[in-house]
Chain A
């Protein structure tokens, strides 16, 4: 079944077509949601909401882009907005904890490359981090990223370059390990 036929059947209310559409795209949506969230429950929630919105809005899908591109733009919007809400909530919690004098003690610097890298990725600004994960980790092209994030291709390239520069700076003392 080609994509156009699949969409037509979903619009007509065919449940098996909905499931086929879901099966065709769920892995990639879940992978990206998990990469961004780092949490299974959040990744499931973001994936669930992405497909609910997609099914609800499919009537308005005009086919100007591939279905996967359209679906990923919904996924990115759901995940990034969800993470922003989480961040605001956690910041409030942290403020309260600090006010109560129960803030966690600062973690000692991690000697391990992977942990340092994870911390460095976490510390990237949202735009840099998103583009880095999509491009260098998940293998998206700049064109796919630009479409999913509704930015110019040049913006995606610039953010990736800045993300790499920041990571290189942070991980400078590990450069030797990578040349070996």
Chain B
């Protein structure tokens, strides 16, 4: 059989594959109307999604920690006194928030890479941009926190800031090249490897770079 004949017969035989019934126009339209109304309603109510709740909480803890650190240091205190104060309340606060932040960022970047590999044309969902925007706020707070005193962590945070900013700024109609560029950056700077080294292993007391 020739290729053309085979293609013709194949197409004909395949017409029965998942043969669609008549379009349930009215039912789908009713669902669209109801769902749009529900989403409009949801937008007018302040609903904090889990990741947003987390980001706000982390930001609050970081801000509080930095604030406590600054307030508890007496005016004119020596460097050693400042360092001592940093190891108290604010130190604990930022460690907790930083640990959660690093875990969350690692999850986002890992999912982003996986999604880019599997999605059509390497175009991950726009939800990554929204999450990256929120983590970016925390990254900047982290850079202003005691965490940035550790040069290794500071360098990691600076790289994360660049990566998250790139993901956050991905246009809705971005091309696969944009994603490829971000993934190349992740590889070249070994960001995920350094992130995992900095994060404490689950269920252990090890603190990595923290």
Q: Do A178 and B120 have beta carbons less than 8 Å apart?
A: no
Interface with A: B15-23, B132-140, B155-163, which one?
B15-23
Q: Say whether B13 faces chain A, with CB atoms less than 8 Å apart.
A: yes
Number of interface residues of A (CB under 8 A): 47
Distance in angstroms between the alpha carbons of A81 and B114 in the assembled complex:
13
A43 touches B20 (CB 8 A): yes
Residues in chain A near residue B175, CB distance under 8 A? 150
A-B contacts counted at CB < 8 A amount to 106
Stretch from A1-9, A93-101, A103-111, A114-122 contacting the other chain: A114-122
Docked-complex contact A150 and B6, CB < 8 angstroms: no
CB atoms of A117 and B13 under 8 A apart = yes
The interface stretch among B30-38, B71-79, B89-97 is B30-38
State A80–B85 Cα separation when bound (angstroms): 54
A residues 22-53 touching B (CB-CB < 8 Å): 22-23, 26-27, 30-31, 34-38, 40, 43-44, 47-48, 51-52
A11 contacts the other chain (Cβ, under 8 Å)? Answer: no
Q: Which residue numbers of A lie inside 8 Å of B, CB to CB?
A: 19, 22-23, 26-27, 30-31, 34-38, 40, 43-44, 47-48, 51-52, 55, 57, 60, 76-77, 80-81, 84, 113-114, 117-118, 121, 127, 132-133, 136-137, 149-151, 164, 167-168, 171, 175, 178-179
Chain B residues within 8 Å of A, Cβ to Cβ: 1, 3, 5-7, 9-11, 13-18, 20-21, 23-25, 27-29, 31-32, 35-36, 39, 118-121, 123, 125, 172, 175-176
